[in-house]
A and B are shown apart, each in its own frame.
Chain A
Amino acid sequence: MKRLLLAVLAVFSLAAAPAGAEDRFITLASTTSTEQSGLFGHLLPLFKAETGIEVRVVAVGTGQALKLGERGDADALLVHDRAGEDKFVAEGFGLDRRDVMYNDFVVVGPSADPAGVKGGKDAAEAFKKIAAAKAPFASRGDDSGTHRSELRLWKKAGVDVKAGGEWYRELGSGMGPTLNTAAGMNAYALADRGTWASFKNRQSLAIVVEGDRALFNPYGSILVNPEKHKAVKAADSKAWHLWLSGPKGQAAIAAFKIGGEQLFFGDAR
């Protein structure tokens, strides 16, 4: 039965094979924030020119990216949730987690600023005020790295959003859709700077809090353990992993700018 299904699938792949499907490539599971900032559009051609390896990016939330790695559907990960990453490695799914780069989160909100948090430097403090004012807040609610960071901030602010209330809205969507929604309902939101910088539908949204240490957003690169899944492309994904955390990758990250502003800062050691 399985053999038959595989044979059928072979026909499918013939029917839909794009020209040059036998190219050398790896699959990288990463986050919507990196994809949507345009960073990959800048990095990947450089890497391909140097190594001949194409990197195919599947952009999902960090939670789903880790899941893809667990199932062996990606060869490498570039994600931002330190706790989740460490767990992923500890459970044997990943190898050699490295710091690669960081950017930071910003708190954005409507220009009317009903919670009065504009210009603040303390994110937790701002969150406290938003909760006290019951000003609408749009949460990713999708178990992504950004969502996990947001939950840590609420915890720090001493606000129980589970008990939340009408003002706290869990959207269950990516960064972009969340910003679209926040713009539409004049809500506050936590966003990564990369997505925010390239986001076009801001309406009345603007940055209200930035520069807090607590808004630090580090990204890590992890190799998927080939011992768990034979089909993982160990050698090519390692080449990517080393390039990204090496001097050339770090320089490329530093060179990526939107509107003259550097969005990601290499911090590989």
Chain B
Amino acid sequence: MSDLSQALSLALELVVTLDPQMLGIVRLSVLVSGSAVLLAALIGLPLGAVLALSAFPGRGALVVMLNAFMGLPPVVVGLGVYLLLSRAGPLGEAGLLFTPAAMVVAQTLLVLPIVAALSRQVVADLWEEYGEQLRSLGVSGLGRMATLLWDGRFSLLTAVLAGFGRAAAEVGAVMIVGGNIKGVTRTMTTTIALETSKGDLALALGLGLILIALVTGVNAAVFLVGQWARRRMG
């Protein structure tokens, strides 16, 4: 148990003293996972709505694929993105390997299936309720998507949060495409992996606690906002 209490006090110390190196790592983690989730939402929300509302050949296969890809191993995504962005790969000339941008690409791919699959579910459920009314009003396809996405905003926020949780917690993809370069691509999870491999379990666990606190904080904030808004909007 001494490891655990040591970890707790280390985590506290890092937070209280606002250790600049730790702040940089936390900032990068939030920036990378946040951008990835933002981009995944920009693509995934409309994609989910399209899948929920329109029929086209191959739609069923796409839905099954999205659902399956929710559990995609981060390492596999990382490896795929690495091969794409490697200087010997097809997109090597962009020069993004071992940069935060590469990590954003990988995490976006990781989060996209979650956001798209969950928002498809949310929109499909809403359509059950709204379908007749919207058809009665003569709302067009695009208008239906926009209306349902907006009216499902509180549930969709949960989908986006699930994506953020996955992005912030994964280590496999960012390790491969970011390279865990100190001060450049070192995130909370790769630092934890590194400190663990150095046998500094207390520091690793301390950082883990900070990560958990961060993700919990974001979730709590969104939960409270959602509660308040739900009560207000019915």
Q: For window 21-52 of chain B, which residues contact chain A by CB distance below 8 Å? A: 28, 31-32, 35, 38-39
Q: Is B100 interfacial (CB-CB < 8 Å)?
A: yes
Q: Is B182 interfacial (CB-CB < 8 Å)?
A: yes
Q: Using a Cβ–Cβ cut-off of 8 Å, how many residues does chain B contribute to the interface with A?
A: 38
Q: Using a Cβ–Cβ cut-off of 8 Å, how many residues does chain A contribute to the interface with B?
A: 42
Encode contact with A along B189-210: 1 for CB under 8 Å, 0 otherwise: 0000010111111000000000
Interface centre among A41, A73, A180 (most CB of B within 10 A): A73
Shortest Cβ gap from B150 to chain A (Å): 24
B residues near A177, Cβ cutoff 8 Å: 196-197
Closest residue on chain B to residue A18 by CB atoms: B100
Provide the bound-state CA to CA distance between A200 and B73, in Å: 30
Closest residue on chain A to residue B83 by CB atoms: A71
**Of the residues A12, A36, A229, contact of B87 by C-beta under 8 Å:** A229
Provide the bound-state CA to CA distance between A122 and B197, in Å: 28
Binds B, one of A2-10, A143-151, A153-161, A234-242: A2-10
Query: Are B197 and A9 within 8 A (Cβ)?
Result: no
Encode contact with A along B85-100: 1 for CB under 8 Å, 0 otherwise: 0111111111111111
Query: Are B197 and A16 within 8 A (Cβ)?
Result: no
Query: Are B199 and A6 within 8 A (Cβ)?
Result: no
Q: Is A72 interfacial (CB-CB < 8 Å)?
A: yes
Query: Are A15 and B197 within 8 A (Cβ)?
Result: no
Encode contact with A along B73-90: 1 for CB under 8 Å, 0 otherwise: 000000000000011111
Provide the bound-state CA to CA distance between A56 and B97, in Å: 12
Q: Is A251 interfacial (CB-CB < 8 Å)?
A: no
Query: Are B91 and A2 within 8 A (Cβ)?
Result: yes
Shortest Cβ gap from A28 to chain B (Å): 9
Query: Are A9 and B96 within 8 A (Cβ)?
Result: yes
Q: For window 84-141 of chain A, which residues contact chain B by CB distance below 8 Å? A: none
Known: A16-B32, A18-B100, A199-B199. A9 touches B180 (CB 8 A): no
Q: Is A254 interfacial (CB-CB < 8 Å)?
A: no
B residues near A58, Cβ cutoff 8 Å: 98, 179-181
B residues near A201, Cβ cutoff 8 Å: 199-201
Closest residue on chain A to residue B178 by CB atoms: A58
Given A6-B91, A21-B99, 16 more pairs with CB closer than 8 A: A6-B93, A9-B101, A12-B96, A15-B38, A15-B39, A16-B101, A17-B100, A17-B101, A36-B198, A58-B181, A70-B88, A73-B88, A73-B97, A73-B98, A173-B197, A180-B199
Task: Provide a sorted-by-A list of 16 A–B residue pairs whose CB atoms are within 8 angstroms.
Answer: A2-B90, A2-B91, A16-B31, A16-B99, A16-B103, A27-B98, A36-B197, A58-B179, A59-B180, A70-B88, A73-B86, A176-B198, A180-B196, A199-B199, A200-B201, A201-B201
